[in-house]
Chain A
Amino acid sequence: MKQAKRKWALMSSALLLAMTVGCSSSSSSTSSGTDSGTTTPKDSGTSEPAPSKDSGDKGTTAKKTITITYRDDGTGEKGTLYKWIKDVAAQYSNKDVEIKPTPIQASEGDYFAKIALALKSKDTAPDIVTEDTFMLNSDASAGFLEPLDERLKGWEDWTNGSFIEAMKKGVTASDGKVYGVPYNTDSRGLWYNKEIFKKVGLPEDWQPKNWDEVLDAARTIKAKAGSDVVPIWMNLGKATGEATSMQTYEMLLYGAGERLYDDASKKWITKSQGITDALTFIETITKEKLGPPLSKVLNGQAGNTATREYLPKGKLAISLDGSWIPGNYLDGGAAPWPEYKDVLGFAPMPTNKGQAPGSITLAGGWALSIPANAQHKDEAWDFIKFALNKDNTEKLVIASGNITVRADVAKDPEYTKMPFNEISTEYLKNAEFRPAQDKYPEVSTQIQTMVESVATGTKAADAAKKYAQDITRIVGQDNTLQK
């Protein structure tokens, strides 16, 4: 009797616990939905409970609240976007609406997951959302975003060539519709420290012609610059997310003349010489210890460590990174460094053997989109038109150190006088974009896994094989291509 009772008690408590273990997944999937992590910065004025509560029943005099959601990287009210939104909102002539920043404080990867959850419901969707152009197609396919074609037709700036035509590609989804207005873009290349180059006898005006020249420079630095100088830094970890895929792997892959996705046959390329070449480059850097210490490069802060710490302190010679990094060094930036203009150089990333077009860059960027579940689409659109006019975009790209997507801003002396802006914009002429495919974000995480495994010692061939298997599983056997 006693034994049986105890057995039952044990059984039930075991089951209960097992359930708690199992449930942790489902509970986290639901809880993240409600707790979208939206941190609202302390606003000086009104404290509105929720943006959606101000529908018509209060009468026309009530102010409508237009919420803008963007990623806060931890800088809060000092963040460029926060300051810009406040500034633009203050000048906005329509005083019937209140523009309210509703940032999501998260790492880049988490931001996309949180946005996806927030956009799913009318209760949580903001009126305007900042979308990374690589997620835009995926979120559009999910039906989260509002197509803007009709509205764009009536916007002079869009139709009269003020926006660089090539940039419109970045906000066009696979269904051919436009889902956002781009506000910045970027190019990528090799940042290098001229002082270190001078010390080890490398040219201060460095223009590598192929990958071997990049590696040779790194080897020279390793031999001559001392053990506390990292020769070359590339993002190599899963924790740095899209930066690893785009700044490192895709720069190499596209530079080797290969693509991720074959547009003609509409298939993902799972095996090719280009993949091998790209991984071999990473393998060489790992084997010869030309790269950063793994403990620094494999965590989510790697990008900041390189740009804000290693580069200004003269502990890093070459960094394969984006055109935005000088934004950090401006007065009021994250790591002010007035000398950066003279110390840093920005060389184009060569193709692997120097073949045409000689250098390569990938371009990304961000856009303002209107969620399909937004409450005030018309007001949101009106604000987007104002926020992304010439003067306001210019303010934003200058403050953030990004490249403009507007042709009229690109010509403005105010913009071109910023160091590196002209050269970064020039690199865009060979710019390539990531595939506008809704599977891309998933493929991208497999790229990160592959790159990290090579960086931690897996053979390039093995990593490539696993990548091929993973991609096949994600997109289906019929949608893959081997070269």
Chain B
Amino acid sequence: MGGLTVSTPRLKRKNYTWLYFLLPSIAIMLLFFIYPILLTFFYSFTNLALTGEAAKELKFVGFDNYARMFQDPTVRVSIWNTLIFLIGSAVIGQQVLGFLIALLMKHKSKVFRRVIGTVVLAGWVTPEIVCALCLYSFFGDEGTLNAILSFFGISAVTWLYTVPMLTIILANIWHGTAFSMLVFQAALDDVPNEIEEAAVVDGASRLQILFRITIPYIKETITTNMMLVTLQTLGVFGLIYAMTGGGPGTSTTTLPIFMYNQAFVNYQLGYGTAISLLLLLIGIVLSLFYIRSLKE
């Protein structure tokens, strides 16, 4: 009984102490996450500019930036490009390829796994800009790919100009697949051998095992990975900027590139921040979609 009276204040004190420990991280979150977002939100309603008369005097312009965004045909092109890039490189490319590599590596010898794993991982550990330079020189006019083709007597193709979207999609796949591979490797290792063996005994084919057992078993990993890869890909800037600069024309202008051009080439920071919020919104909508599909 006496213990209870003693422990009450201790409990109370405990209630406050967790706050002290969390305070630094809350402060950091507020300062580096919440505050910039609020600031971005605020600037998106202003005429903030890098130079020119607007740079002298910050004016509140209401929804002008948003109205401009909806009228701007390039925004539509950019959203479309972003989606193609996203589906091509993240959803189909990295996800499917990563899964296949992980699947094929399962039950293989340690040496095989290590060698292949390292090769795939090389793309992932390469910094984005280095990766962009490598692939630029691969796809370039006098690049590796054309050199290989000319060896077989095929005339050179200006890859970055004839199929620019494909080159950046392949580049992003090359760069990012290892992440999906690692995630799926871990998940596939968790699929109990007993279930698969039981299925084999029951006479299931390999495809049936894959679609009826393996994939349903790791469904949650697939969705989580999909979300992570999607959000990473939405923000890809350096790779595209260094390889094609968003061109030729607007054929590889994704939203981040468009945002950069508005903010730092056209000096319209206010408009740029409005576009960044659109990007944020797309990210949130897609995440919610994934989370919902996970629940079902």
Contact = CB atoms under 8 A, between A and B. Distances in A.
Contacts of B264: 32, 110, 113
A14 B247 contact: no
Contacts of B268: 442
Contact of B267 (A11, A24, A116, A299): A116
Interface string A293-332: 1111011100000000000000000000000000000000
Contact of A116 (B55, B246, B283): B55
Contacts of B275: 25
A117 interface: yes
B56 interface: yes
A445 B271 CA distance: 15
A94 interface: no
A50 interface: no
Nearest to A466: B73
A1 interface: no
A438 B248 contact: no
B37 A116 contact: no
A23 B53 contact: no
Interface string A20-37: 111111111110100000
Interface stretch (A39-47, A54-62, A135-143, A225-233): A135-143
B259 to A, nearest CB: 6
Instruction: Please name the 5 residue pairs, one residue from A and one from B, whose CB atoms are nearest each other, closest first.
Output: A22-B280, A25-B276, A142-B55, A14-B287, A18-B283
A138 B56 CA distance: 10
B279 A25 contact: yes
Contacts of B118: none
A307 B79 CA distance: 37
22 contacts: A7-B291, A10-B224, A14-B284, A15-B284, A18-B283, A19-B33, A20-B235, A21-B235, A21-B280, A22-B40, A25-B40, A109-B265, A112-B51, A113-B267, A116-B50, A116-B51, A138-B52, A141-B56, A295-B140, A438-B53, A441-B267, A473-B68
A22 B276 contact: yes
Contact of A298 (B39, B161, B269, B277): B161
Contacts, number: 166
Interface in B68-91: 68, 71-73
B279 A21 contact: yes
Nearest to A294: B161
Interface residues of A, number: 58
A295 B158 contact: yes
Q: Which of B71, B275, B280 is most buried by chain A, counting CB atoms within 10 A of its CB?
A: B280
A39 B153 CA distance: 46
Nearest to A174: B53
B1 to A, nearest CB: 32
Contacts of A272: none
A113 B37 contact: no
Interface string A143-187: 110000000000000000000000000000000000000000000
A143 B249 contact: no
Interface of A: 7, 10-11, 14-30, 32, 109-110, 112-113, 116-117, 120, 135, 138-139, 141-144, 237-239, 293-296, 298-300, 438-439, 441-442, 445, 449, 452-453, 456, 458, 466, 469, 473
Given A25-B275, A32-B264, A141-B56, 4 more contacts: A109-B265, A298-B247, A438-B53, A458-B249
A351 to B, nearest CB: 29
Where chain B touches its partner, the secondary structure class is helix
Contacts of A26: 36-37, 39-40, 273, 276
Nearest to A115: B51
A106 B272 CA distance: 21
Interface in B186-240: 224, 227-228, 231-232, 234-235, 237
B287 A18 contact: yes
Contacts of B249: 452-453, 456, 458
A135 B283 contact: no
B51 A135 contact: yes
B294 interface: yes
Interface in B158-183: 158, 160-161
A139 B276 CA distance: 25
A452 B248 contact: yes
A445 B272 CA distance: 15
Contacts of A300: 245
